[in-house]
Structure 1
Amino acid sequence: MARASAGIGAPDARPEEDSCNILSSFDMDHDMLDWEQTVAIAWSVNSSRCLEALDVDRTIRKQFRLSHADVAVTPYHPIEFLVKFNHKAHCDETLAAGRVRAGGGIVHIRPWRPLEWAVGAAFNYRVLLCLENVPDYA
């Protein structure tokens, strides 16, 4: 007789180990170093209208005399924009300026950092979590 498979969360459906190792390659490390040196984040302040990535892209290219191939601006969450430069010198020049004027407002530009540099913080809040209709074996 065939045995019915256990539902989600059943003890016999859980893996034996609760951790895994993800090794990084030389290419991944090289790409991370490249991103740390050539990527910035940008957000608008006091803008009279909602800025689009194209507005920020045009402003950066115009102010720093860059070509379309030298910079790419894309929407980025939780900050507004991610700015990727092809050359470290262009990124350094833009970061040294710190801000540009776009669309009647100011766009602040800061270096992008991976989450491994993030600082943990403890928030002492109480949370009441109510779960309904949860099976007993979950």
Structure 2
Amino acid sequence: MEAVMRWLFVILLVALPVPAGAQDCDEAETTLAMGVCLQDALAAADAELNLTYRLAMEQLGENELPAVATSLKQAQRAWITYRDLACASERALYAGGSMAGIARTGCLLRLTTERVTGLSEFLPN
């Protein structure tokens, strides 16, 4: 029953609309507006990432695959290091400029969204 409730929660989370601030990011005209939009979208993506990772780890535990769970945990830690370094390098392209933060946050959003897709492979269809 608990597993069913978790999957219902995932379905509801995916079906929820994107936060209002994140919907108009392409139309934002100032770096402040872009930053707010991207931060909202990143917060939603990060919540989805954390939920997907937790469910994947639970799924591996339920299927008694501790070696896969250990490997995934190590991969997730390595991915976080990669993400932070990759996005720091994108920010560095704009060092001292007003777009530095936007570049970093956009990078974090892009990589987080990609990682959610990758982690979803560990979930049942």
TM-score range, shorter chain: under 0.3
Q: Which has the higher strand share?
A: 1
TM-score after normalising by structure 1: 0.24
TM-score, normalization by structure 2: 0.26
